[in-house]
Amino acid sequence: MGLAARPDGRTVSYEPQSSEGWVATRLDFLVNWGRANSLWPMPFGTACCAIEFMATAASRFDLARFGMERMSFSPRQADVLICAGRVPFKLAPIIRRIWQQMPQPKWCISMGACASSGGMFDNYAVVQGIDTIIPVDVYVPGCPPRPEGLIYGIRMLQEKVLNERRMDNRLRDEINPDPASQLYIPPSVIDELGEPFGNSVHQTRQAP
Amino acid sequence: MTEKFDVVRAGSAVPDSAPPVSPRNVQHRGGEPNATARAIVERFPGAVSRTEVVWGETTIFISPESVLEVMQWLHDDPAQRYDFLSDVTAVEYRDLDQPIEVVWHLRSLPFRRFLRVKAQLPKRPALEIASVWSIWKSADWMERECYDMFGIRFIGHPDLRRILMWEQYKEGFPLRKDFPLRGRFSRSEQLRQALAQNPEAKYSMEELTIADAFEDLPDDMRRRINSGARTGE
Amino acid sequence: MSSGNRTIEVELFTTGLDAAGRPQRTPLVTNDGGSQLTIAAPEAMEPELSADHMLINIGPQHPATHGVLRLVLELDGETVVRCIPHIGYLHCGFEKIGEYRQYNQIIPWTDREDYLNSIGNNVAFALGAERLFGIDVTERCTVLRVIASELSRIISHLVWLGTTCIDIGAFTPFLWAFQERENVYNLLEGWVGARLTTSATRVGGMAADIPAGWMDGLRHFIRTFPHTIDEIDRMLTRNAIWVGRTVGIGVMTPDEAINWGLSGPMLRASGVAYDVRKDFPYLDYETYDFDVPVGTNGDVYDRFLVRMEELRQSVRILQQAADKLPEGPLNVDDARVILPPKSKATSEMESMIHHFKQVMEGPRPPAGESYVAVESPKGEKGYYMVSDGTSKPVRWRIRPPSFVNLAAIPKMVEGHLLSDVIAINASIDIVMGEIDR
Q: For the domain that residue A161 is a member of, what is the CATH number? A: 3.40.50.12280
Residue A133's pLDDT is 86
* Between A4 and C199, residue with greater pLDDT: C199
What's the CA angle centered on C183, arms C181 and C185, to 5 degrees? Answer: 70
pLDDT along chain C (437 residues), means of 10: 46 50 46 41 44 76 80 83 87 90 91 90 93 91 93 92 88 89 92 90 90 92 92 85 84 90 91 90 90 88 91 92 91 86 86 87 90 92 92 92 91 87 90 88
Please, are residues C248 and C26 in contact by the beta-carbon 8 Å criterion? no
Please, are residues C369 and C134 in contact by the beta-carbon 8 Å criterion? no
Return d(Cα B126, Cα C278) in angstroms, integer.
Answer: 42
- Dump pLDDT digits (tens) for C170-185: 888 888 999 899 999 9
Domain-located, residue A181: no
Residue C5's pLDDT is 47
Rounded mean pLDDT, A95-101? 85
C94-436 adopts what CATH topology? Cytochrome-c3 Hydrogenase; chain B (1.10.645)
- Contact A185/C at CB under 8 A: no
Single-letter code of the amino acid located at A116:
S
Question: Is A131 in the same domain as A49?
Answer: yes
- Contact A198/C at CB under 8 A: yes
Please, are residues B37 and B51 in contact by the beta-carbon 8 Å criterion? yes
Domain-located, residue A180: no
Residue C247's pLDDT is 84
Contact A127 B194 (CB under 8 A): yes
Domain-located, residue A191: no
Contact A51 C159 (CB under 8 A): yes
Q: Identify the bridge partners of residue A130 per DSSP, sorted by sequence position.
A: none
- Contact B88/C at CB under 8 A: no
Domain-located, residue A155: yes
Contact A198 B211 (CB under 8 A): yes
Question: Is A124 in the same domain as A23?
Answer: no
Instruction: Identify the CA nearest to B62 among candidates B79, B45, B76, B75.
Output: B45
Nearest to B171 among A90, A124, A192 (CB): A124
Contact A125 B213 (CB under 8 A): no
Q: Identify the bridge partners of residue C389 per DSSP, sorted by sequence position.
A: none
Question: Is A62 in the same domain as A9?
Answer: no
Q: How many domains, in total, are found in chain A?
A: 2
Nearest to C296 among B7, B59, B109 (CB): B7
Nearest to C394 among B84, B93, B163 (CB): B93
Question: 3-class DSSP state for residue B192?
Answer: helix
Nearest to B212 among A132, A196, A202 (CB): A202
Nearest-CA distance C337 → chain A (Å): 24
Cis peptide before C400 (omega within 30 of 0): no
DSSP string for residues in C212-260: TTHHHHHHHHHHHHHHHHHHHHHHHTT-HHHHHHHTTSS---HHHHHHT
Digitized pLDDT (tens) for each residue of chain B, 233 residues in all = 456 888 888 888 888 888 888 888 888 888 888 888 888 888 888 888 888 998 889 999 999 999 999 999 999 988 888 999 999 999 999 888 889 999 999 999 888 889 999 999 988 778 899 999 999 999 999 999 999 999 999 988 888 888 888 877 878 899 988 888 888 877 777 888 788 775 445 566 666 666 555 666 667 666 766 665 544 43
Domain-located, residue A152: yes
Please, are residues A95 and A103 in contact by the beta-carbon 8 Å criterion? no
Residue C334's pLDDT is 84
Please, are residues C119 and C408 in contact by the beta-carbon 8 Å criterion? no
Return d(Cα C53, Cα C76) in angstroms, integer.
Answer: 5
Domain-located, residue A8: yes
Cβ-Cβ contacts under 8 Å, B231 against chain A? none
Flag whether pLDDT at A206 surpasses 60.
Answer: no
Nearest residue in A to C181, CA atom: A55
What is the pairing mode between strands A23-24 and A3-5?
Answer: parallel
The domains located in chain B, with CATH, are 29-163 (3.30.460.80)
With contact defined as 3+ CB pairs under 8 Å, the chains touching B are A, C
Domain-located, residue A202: no
| Domain with A78 in it | 39-166
Contact A132 B199 (CB under 8 A): no
Question: Is A72 in the same domain as A111?
Answer: yes
With contact defined as 3+ CB pairs under 8 Å, the chains touching A are B, C
How many contacts (CB atoms, under 8 Å) link B and C?
191
- Dump pLDDT digits (tens) for C91-145: 998 999 899 888 998 999 999 988 989 999 999 999 999 999 989 999 999 999 9
Question: Is A57 in the same domain as A154?
Answer: yes
- Contact C366/A at CB under 8 A: no
Q: What is the pTM of this model?
A: 0.84
- Contact B114/C at CB under 8 A: yes
